[in-house]
Structure 1
Amino acid sequence: MTTPISMDQLLELAKQAGDAIMEVYNSDDFGIEQKADDSPLTKADLASHQIIVEALERLTPEIPVLSEESAKIPFRPARAGTATG
């Protein structure tokens, strides 16, 4: 069974991630790096990613998180009664 998440929790999470992004954008150092595919990766990307992933893992530990900035997640077979795509 999936843990329910309230809209207030999601809004707070989005605000925290947005605050982290703005903190970087208001600084003199965006910390821009190039990813393997030659696209940019900034400190803001990493900061917001960390906040979002940590919160989602805490709020819904049974659901794996996949994002552009994350490493590959381990394969877990779908449970009976769940959508597999």
Structure 2
Amino acid sequence: MSRDEAKLIRQLSLLSFLLNRSRPSTAREIQETVEGYGDMSDETFARRFSGDRADLAKIGIEVRVAGTPETAEAAESQLYLLSEE
């Protein structure tokens, strides 16, 4: 599978995962559940997830953070969801 194909599958899997959730999800849930993220180190996942969010935003699909973390520990447990706009 080419790098572009893997990226597309990962982004579509992320979109599908978030669309089917009834509540926001942690980054850990996303990493462990969404196809294409599971075999990555935490650092690689963070970079790819950030890039995937940016790519989706470019086409009008915003993956936003629910609430604002007050500490570094809270930032690690941020919740992500699709914007309803």
The bucket for the TM-score relative to the shorter chain is 0.3 to 0.5
Q: Which has the higher strand share?
A: 2
Larger Rg: 1
